[in-house]
Amino acid sequence: MRRALALARGVWGETQPNPMVGAVLVEDGVIVAEGATAPDGGPHAERRALEALGRPPRPGATLYVTLEPCCTEGRTGACTARILAAGIRRVVVGAVDPNPAHAGRGLEVLRAAGVEVVSGVLAAECADLNLIFNHWITRGTPLLAAKVASTIDGKLACRTGDSQWITGEAARADVHRWRRLFPAIGVGAMTVLHDNPRLTVRPPGGAESCPVRFVFDGLLRTVVEKNLPRVFTDEFRGRTIVVTTPHGGLGYVRKLRDLGVQVWVIDSPSQRVPFAAFRRRCVEERISGVLIEGGAQLISELLRARELDYLFAYHAPLLFADDKARTIFSGLRPERVAQGVRLDEVRHESFGGDVLMRGRLVYPEKMLVDEAVFRLR
Ligand SMILES: NC(=O)c1ccc[n+]([C@@H]2O[C@H](COP(=O)([O-])OP(=O)(O)OC[C@H]3O[C@@H](n4cnc5c(N)ncnc54)[C@H](OP(=O)(O)O)[C@@H]3O)[C@@H](O)[C@H]2O)c1
């Protein structure tokens, strides 16, 4: 199963809208064929492993697959039917498919046909591989995740604003790896104005590519500047979507559209885009996940609205110990530990001296909010 997981990771970010899956065929304890999901809705991993074998599997062969084989006729035909046709009598499965159309039915189909099925092997790791897909398919809404890079004391910049770089090269390369997986990245207006980021994917030695780039800018302050930010002028500007409100001004909307930048004007009583409406628009456009990369204000607003689903927190072995240094999160006022926001399904990874803690956010039933903080904004 570990080998199958490695195969699935080998097609990282290439399989949308399908999940990443790996499969391994074993005869007499020896791996004889391997497969991973093909790009762009192509054949699934099980089918590719069987094709790679190029002959019928020997009696007693075992198929290992990271995700439950599908049992519905999609574009590529049901994998359960292909497995049965190949005469495989033993299948070892990692995660059960969370897709309600499948959800264990593939296992039932195989068992009903007399196949020995072992499921749940390295299940958490296999499920984690498709965290965006799983959220999308079960909840029907995009996974809104935030990435933050901070010191041990939770600071993302010095009091002067200097923030480059808090984490090291390896951790920053990992962010690029996640960017490759998420169909979209998002940032707040102030991050665009301060940092003028490219928000592209730049794998070491690979070609630069660009996910959808959301800029949250309720008043279109990023358009006022004479020197426009590069997300509005570079060769990927057609991938930039400015998310704004009717309070932003029609002239600026026109200016952006003339540049070839997309604009979503979302109805709002204030200058802030309601995140629930933003989610609905993402569903309409089939955008299954957004990685919000800052800044502090946008991420804190998402948290307060209970709209942040997932967090990637990179911590550097660095201390500012300055209460005027900038903090990432603000605006909540828990009075008890139980009123804090916790991470579930937590995973840790290290990159040189830096540590990534990531997980799904679990909000307390009663979340106390500091109204004063948000009134000031
Ligand atoms: N260490 C890290 O991981 C990291 C990552 C990114 C950025 N940063 C740093 O963070 C700093 C910028 O952060 P920041 O907190 O000042 O600003 P920010 O969060 O980047 O941007 C805040 C702005 O976004 C707009 N906005 C927020 N929520 C919105 C909503 N719901 N709808 C529409 N617009 C919305 C608001 O515009 P209006 O005020 O016009 O409403 C607000 O002023 C930079 O210095 C950058 O270097 C650090």
Concatenating the DSSP letter of every residue in 313-353 gives EEE-S-----TTSEES--SB--SSGGGS-EEEEEEEEEETT
Dihedral (Cα; 197, 200, 201, 203), 10-degree rounding: -60
**Mean pLDDT taken over the chain:** 93
- The confidence score (pLDDT) of residue 372 equals 66
Ligand 1 atom nearest to CA at 377: 39
Residue 115 near residue 83 (C-beta atoms within 8 A): yes
Q: From the CA of 300, how far away is ligand 1's center (Å)?
A: 9
Q: From the CA of 194, how far away is ligand 1's center (Å)?
A: 9
Given pLDDT bands bounded at 50, 70 and 90, which one contains residue 298?
very high
For residue 148, is pLDDT > 70?
yes
Q: From the CA of 216, how far away is ligand 1's center (Å)?
A: 8
- The total of other beta-carbon atoms located within 10 Å of residue 267's CB is 9
Rg (CA), the chain: 23
For residue 376, is pLDDT > 60?
no
Q: From the CA of 298, how far away is ligand 1's center (Å)?
A: 5
- The confidence score (pLDDT) of residue 83 equals 96
Q: From the CA of 363, how far away is ligand 1's center (Å)?
A: 22
Tokens at 289, concatenated: 């996940």
- The confidence score (pLDDT) of residue 75 equals 67
Ligand 1 atom nearest to CA at 149: 3
**Measured on CA atoms in the order 216, 220, 224, 226, is the torsion positive or negative?**
positive
Identify which of 156, 159, 318, 356 to mutate to test ligand 1's pocket (most ligand atoms within 8 A of the CB).
156
For residue 76, is pLDDT > 90?
no
- The confidence score (pLDDT) of residue 373 equals 61
- 116 three-class SS: strand
Whose CA is closest to atom 28 on ligand 1? 298
Q: From the CA of 202, how far away is ligand 1's center (Å)?
A: 23
For residue 236, is pLDDT > 70?
yes
Range with the poorest average pLDDT among 142-151, 195-204, 238-247, 273-282: 195-204
Identify which of 217, 266, 271, 293 to mutate to test ligand 1's pocket (most ligand atoms within 8 A of the CB).
217
Residue-range domains of the chain with CATH: 2-128 (3.40.140.10), 141-376 (3.40.430.10)
Ligand 1 atom nearest to CA at 191: 20
Q: Which of 34, 46, 293, 301 is catalytic?
A: 46
Ligand 1 atom nearest to CA at 192: 20
For ligand 1, which residues put their CB under 6 angstroms from it? Answer: 148-149, 156-157, 161, 163, 166, 187-191, 194-195, 216-219, 221, 271-273, 293-298, 301
- The confidence score (pLDDT) of residue 374 equals 59
- The confidence score (pLDDT) of residue 377 equals 53
**Measured on CA atoms in the order 175, 176, 177, 180, is the torsion positive or negative?**
positive
Residue 241 near residue 257 (C-beta atoms within 8 A): no
Given pLDDT bands bounded at 50, 70 and 90, which one contains residue 61?
very high
Whose CA is closest to atom 40 on ligand 1? 219
Amino acid of residue 226:
K
- The total of other beta-carbon atoms located within 10 Å of residue 216's CB is 24
- The confidence score (pLDDT) of residue 30 equals 97
Per-position b or e across 40-79, b if 16+ CB within 10 A of its CB: eeebbbbbbbbeebeeebeeebbbbbbbbbbbeeeebebb
What whole-number percentage of the chain has pLDDT above 70? 98
Q: From the CA of 168, how far away is ligand 1's center (Å)?
A: 22
The reply to whether 73 belongs to the active site is: no
Q: What is the rounded distance in angstroms from the CA atom of residue 86 to the CA atom of residue 88?
A: 6
- The confidence score (pLDDT) of residue 73 equals 74
- pLDDT tens per residue across span 81-125: 999 999 999 999 999 999 887 889 999 999 999 999 999 999 999
Whose CA is closest to atom 44 on ligand 1? 191
For residue 375, is pLDDT > 90?
no
Q: Which of 89, 81, 83 is closest to 49 using CA atoms?
A: 83
The DSSP call for residue 192 is H
Q: Give kind and range of the element (H or E) at residue 159.
A: none
- The confidence score (pLDDT) of residue 371 equals 75
Mean pLDDT of 57-84: 90
Q: What is the rounded distance in angstroms from the CA atom of residue 180 to the CA atom of residue 200?
A: 9
Task: Tell me the pTM.
Answer: 0.92
Identify which of 160, 166, 213, 216 to mutate to test ligand 1's pocket (most ligand atoms within 8 A of the CB).
216
Mean pLDDT of 160-179: 93
The DSSP call for residue 201 is B
Q: What is the rounded distance in angstroms from the CA atom of residue 192 to the CA atom of residue 221?
A: 10
